[in-house]
Amino acid sequence: MIDERFVFLAVALNLFGGSTYLIDTIKGKVRPNKVTWFLWTLAPFIAFAAQVKQGVGLVSLMTMTAWVVAFFIFFASFLNKKADWKITTFDLTCGLLSLIGLALWGITQVGNLAILFSILADGLAAIPIIVKSYRAPETENSKTFLFGAISALITLFTIKQWDFAHYAFSMYILFICLILFVLIKFKIGKKIHLQL
Q: Rounded to an integer, what distance in angstroms lies between the CA atom of residue 196 and that of residue 190? A: 10
Check if the beta carbon of residue 13 is closer than 8 Å to that of residue 147. Answer: yes
Residue 127 has a pLDDT of 87
Average pLDDT over residues 147-161: 97
pLDDT by residue (tens digit) across 11-67? Answer: 999 999 999 999 999 999 998 988 889 889 988 998 999 999 899 999 999 999 999
pLDDT by residue (tens digit) across 105-143? Answer: 778 778 898 899 889 888 888 988 898 899 999 999 999
Residue 196 has a pLDDT of 61
Residue 152 has a pLDDT of 98
Is a pLDDT exceeding 90 seen at residue 161?
yes
